[in-house]
Amino acid sequence: KDRLTMMKAALDELARMKMNVICDHFHVQPNSDEKTFAFWREVNHYAAVRGIYANDYGSTGVYLRYNYPKGKEFTDWPCVKCHRSWEDTYYCWADDALTESAANRYADYITKLGAEKGILVIHPVDGGSWQDPEEWSKRCAKCKARWNDHERWKASVNQFNIWSRELKRRLPNAKVGSCIYPYTFN
DSSP line for 132-174: SGGGGGG--HHHHHHS-TT-HHHHHHHHHHHHHHHHHHH-TT-
Output the CA angle 74-135-77, nearest 5 degrees: 20
Q: Shortest CA distance to 78 belongs to which of 60, 91, 97, 65?
A: 91
Q: Where are the beta strands (DSSP E) in the chain?
A: 21-22, 53-59, 63-64, 81-84, 87-90, 119-123, 175-178
Q: Using CA atoms, how far apart are residues 4 and 8, in angstroms rounded to an integer?
A: 6
Q: Within a 13 Å sphere around the CA of 69, how many CA atoms are in the beta-carbon half?
A: 8
Model pLDDT, residue 60: 86
Helix (H, G, I), strand (E, B) or coil at 37: helix
Across the range 68-82, mean pLDDT stands at 81
Q: How confident is the model at residue 6 (pLDDT cuts 50, 70, 90)?
A: very high
pLDDT per residue over 30-67, tens digit each? 889 999 999 999 999 999 999 999 999 888 889 988 88
Q: Using CA atoms, how far apart are residues 167 and 182, in angstroms rounded to an integer?
A: 25
Model pLDDT, residue 93: 92
Model pLDDT, residue 87: 78
The pairing of beta strand 81-84 with beta strand 63-64? unpaired
Q: How confident is the model at residue 126 (pLDDT cuts 50, 70, 90)?
A: low
